[in-house]
Structure 1
Amino acid sequence: MKVDIWFPFYVNDYIADTMALSNREHGMYLLLMIHCWKKGVIPKDIEKLKKITKTSEEDVSFLIGILEDFFEEHEDFYINNRLSAEKTKAENRSKRAQENGRLGGRPKEFTSIRGCTAIKKQLDKDWYEMVLFFDNKCLCCEEKLPEGAVPLMDHIIPKSLGGQLEITNIQPLCSGCNRDKSNKHTTDYRLKFIEDIPEKLKSKWFIAGKLEETYRLKLENQNKTSSHSHSHSHSESYKPPEKKHKYGEYNHVRLTDKQFKKLEEDYGSIHLKELIVKLDEGIEIHGYRYKNHNLTIRKWNPLNNEKPTIKSKELTGTQKEIEKYQSYIDSDVFPEDEKIKFRDKINELEGSE
């Protein structure tokens, strides 16, 4: 199937990006997109651009404005990065369709399991074999999921970058690590356990001929002394994020060791524990979703915008606690029933002095 005879048009995105354009500018932009889809690039020759967009001399300034706003300038041409990415995906789909045709058509036998839809039965079997081998653990944070829960099927090369739903391109991750990874990088966490994986499973889980190269890059990364890499390879340049640990009764709050230590230094262990409980219960009861729990805790903390009237170094431990609970009562963050508890704690502390 020829991919240059059509291109995907995302109406909502287009409207949002072009609200300020006039009818004339809309026409120029659409004609430039069509040319870029068919030819791959937009020439920098102004005369050619005028012909492509049917633009008169007096409207050239509008044409230049469109190019500056929606296309990336190179030495001899302009390019639209999103169109280029979409065309690459379309070409990959076309190649897969041609390959399926040579093999007698697309495989017809499908099933579904938790974490994905419409996958082949063989992939179903291989996937659970992988989950069982790694003992139902997330390969990123290495936390074992509770009984009855199943790791998510993470695409090592994200779908948005052309990654396929194949056993060679999936790994078990928990929902938090899967969300953190997203399409930001292509780290294969299975390589952390490469020495423990039997040859029979390696032959299934890794593309023939590429495992050795990938493993070599892993070893090179471990031996590097330089903090920067000039390679364009994701495997060499990407540094995996610091491991996050789960906190709270329901294990919803996720913080790295560094984040937890800094929060504890800034707010004290008792105060931090209360904020973690509040966030953990809020997620459990109301289904709240926060991308960054460290930032959420800091935003929720009522002391963020408070300026103490007495320097903390002049206060005893008990006085600090009293000041803290008083700040809770004075803030608008906590409900009235919790403020009553804080007043009781202040009375207890004052009685102990």
Structure 2
Amino acid sequence: MLRSLPKLSLLFSSARNPHYLASVQRFISVGRRAASRVKIGVASTVPIRSMSTSTISSAITSETAAEDQVQRVNLLRSTDDNYDGVIVELDQPMDSTTFISILRASVSHWKKLGKKGVWIKLPIHLVNLVEALVKEGFWYHHAEPKYLMLVYWIPESPSTIPANATHRVGIGSFVMNEKQEVLVVQENSGLFQGTGVWKFPTGVVDQGEDICVAAVREVKEETGVDSEFVEVLSFRQSHNSFFEKSDLFFVCMLRPLSSDIKTQRLEILNAQWMPFEEYAAQPFIQKSELLKYINDTCLAKMGGQYSGFSSVPTSSNFSDQKNYLYLSAGALKSSYSS
């Protein structure tokens, strides 16, 4: 039965290295005891052929003469992504020294396979490994409440790892009743706190939430009014608006299904139905080029001279979940009829 050389033989290949010779001597002295193997946080091993030298004792040489000696090195569990990279999701605790040894062996293995990007998802309970990863050349990609994602680029070429999410998505809800009154609110926090400005209900689209759904939700949360989505009237892109991220803001038209207002006091100071002309005449609105364009769009829609983008549920090759395509349904029908 073969004996395995101690793991230090992988790190010190020179026979003149005193640490290497010492490790061999310790191996001989322990007889046929198997070398220990680190098992924490690993799922696979690769065989590495040991190097023979003239200084290894004749006892070891005679035992390996009939068959090549093989030692197995633990690797991190990984899955391939679609771009010649690997994704590692750590879950079991381990000390930094052990982790670095396994990490280096894994990166070397991935490099031989031609892999490029390495994604390591580090749960919050393994935060002790962050320093080790950074010292090995990994950098922060993004963070979520329960994990931190770090990345590494293996090839000696510019990294093509995409940046973290670059945009935040917001909505503004244009809700008009049959009296041509628009639903408006005054905020008790944020930029408009204490200004007396009346504005459309606005908010941020949640992760995994559709724009048309978010518009209805925000109206309900801020005013208590039930509504249904009609169209996206317009949208705006801005930059450096939230922690240096860009911002997409969609102006949505909604049809009210109820009229009673129940103000959400956490964020909203007051809410009411206001004649559109009164809303548009506010000095703050008149001084804003952006808001004037939005108001002109709303007026054109009220007059039947403007067609926005309605939501059409569709399927996709990228996900089994239904998603929405926003298009000008009226213009599309006209093109079909012609």
TM > 0.5 between the two? Answer: no
Higher relative contact order (CA 8 A, sep 6+): 2
When Rg is computed on C-alpha atoms for both structures, the one with the higher figure is 2
Please state which structure has a larger fraction of its residues in strand. Answer: 2
